[in-house]
Amino acid sequence: MNQRFSKNPWYWIPPLYLTEGIPYVLIITVSVIMYKKLGIDNADIGLYTSFLYLPWVIKPLWSPLVDIYSTKRKWFLKMQLLLSLAFLGVGLAIPTNQFFVLSLACFWVASFASATNDIASDGYYLLALKEDQQSFFIGLRSTFYRVAMVTGQGLFVILAGYLETYYGDNSKAWSLTMILIAGLMFFLTLINLWATPNIEKETNYIKQESLTFAKVFTSFFQKKGIWVALAFILMYRLGESQLVKMASPFLLDGREIGGLGLNTSDVGLIYGTLGIIALSLGGILGGIVISRDGLGKWMLPMILALNVPNFFYYLLAYFQPESVFYAGLVVVVEQLGYGFGFAAFMMYLIYVADGPSKTSHYAIATGFMALGMMLPGMISGYVQQWLGYEGFFLWVVAAAIPGILLVKIVKFPIDYGKKKG
């Protein structure tokens, strides 16, 4: 590949973060829809799919290995290949009598591979770009990551819904969908092999006495204001972490139990078309304004943009409109706000990780981010069954308040991420 072309971030960031986002959305979100359509109840879905967050929570335990051994590029290419095989395993497991256990086992393999892929891909991003480039491209990066997630909730689910209708067999439909996704992951791995430039030298990754597990972890927790920072990371998406687990079951559940009674293809269409457009606009806009003005000016507006639209889910549950238009409108508003608000969150994580061993420190920070998604998500199904959908969505809105209040306490340079000059 032409060297000038290969070093242009516009070419390698989109496929790299598509390949980071697709496994995550399949494991955390699409698995929820799949198990719902295969007859698993909300409580089990919330509990067992939330456990799949665990590798992202504990990934700091092996993140120093990615810093110390080999290049980030080799790490993420190997993990992406393993992910292709794991999703193939899910597809082959679904038609069996023990599909729930076997498919969960494959999802567990995929979870560890995906978490490691995240460490390497994010570390590669931090090494390849300067600070002002990081803030400018954070919008592109988070947008393609979220495009991958919405594509999973959208196009993959539309495909599965079409196959459900075509075959009249949910098990066969989801098995074939997962096999096709495994092929897509392999194709994206080949694209990343071609598109990502070699920015590292193998000789830089010979284990050195000065870089040890103990020093990596100790130096992170010695950062100034780290405990307030970690509280903010845990609280930033406290409401969203519960909404994301129950939004699809809400759209799919029958109206007699408080849902909207949409079919699988309707849900996929809502997320896969209008949702992608709104998310892309929000994410790109978020990166642009941070690059222009710095993180300080936009942190509060962005956390509000991420959380306030969740109230509209309560209105959907209360009025239960029959037209799919209203559900689509709410998803558009929520995805636009999420894309905009998530840019600030990702930029703040980069700030927290800044310094020596930034790959490992970023992994630790995102591990706490995953913990903030996993624990609330584990109980989301039980809370929904206890409160009903109306009460649940009000609770989701209230859960956002601690994170919003912490904006006034958390410390970071007001112009962090602002383009120099």
- Ranking 262-276, 285-299, 370-384, 391-405 by mean pLDDT, the lowest is 262-276
Contact 360, 63 (CB under 8 A): yes
> Which contiguous run of DSSP H or E holds residue 90?
helix 72-93
Residue 59 has pLDDT above 70, yes or no: yes
How confident is residue 383, by pLDDT bands cut at 50, 70 and 90? very high
Contact 233, 299 (CB under 8 A): no
State the sign of the Cα–Cα–Cα–Cα dihedral 47, 51, 53, 58: positive
How confident is residue 392, by pLDDT bands cut at 50, 70 and 90? very high
How confident is residue 182, by pLDDT bands cut at 50, 70 and 90? very high
How confident is residue 4, by pLDDT bands cut at 50, 70 and 90? very low
Which DSSP letter does residue 256 get?
Answer: G
Q: What are phi and psi of 408, to 5 degrees?
A: -75, -15
Token readout for 179 is 């096999």
- The label of the residue with tokens 């549950």 reads 317
pLDDT (tens digit, 9 = 90+) per residue, 197-238?
887 765 454 444 445 667 777 888 889 999 999 999 999 999
Kindly report the number of other CB atoms within 10 A of residue 87's CB atom: 28
State the pLDDT at residue 207.
Answer: 47
- Residue closest to 164 by CA, chosen among 39, 293, 343: 39
Distance in angstroms (rounded) separating the CA atoms of residues 305 and 18: 23
- Residue closest to 73 by CA, chosen among 127, 3, 145: 127
- The label of the residue with tokens 């508003």 reads 333
State the pLDDT at residue 132.
Answer: 64
- Ranking 15-24, 267-276, 301-310 by mean pLDDT, the lowest is 267-276
What is the gyration radius of the CA atoms in the chain, in angstroms? 21
- The label of the residue with tokens 């969960």 reads 104
Residue 8, CA distances (Å) to 77, 224, 419 in order: 19, 35, 18
Residue 31 has pLDDT above 60, yes or no: yes
pLDDT (tens digit, 9 = 90+) per residue, 320-352?
999 999 999 999 999 899 889 988 998 999 899
State the pLDDT at residue 5.
Answer: 45
Name the 3-class secondary structure at 122. helix
Stronger pLDDT, 32 or 207, i.e. the higher one: 32
* Domains defined for the chain, CATH in brackets: 3-197+216-406 (1.20.1250.20)
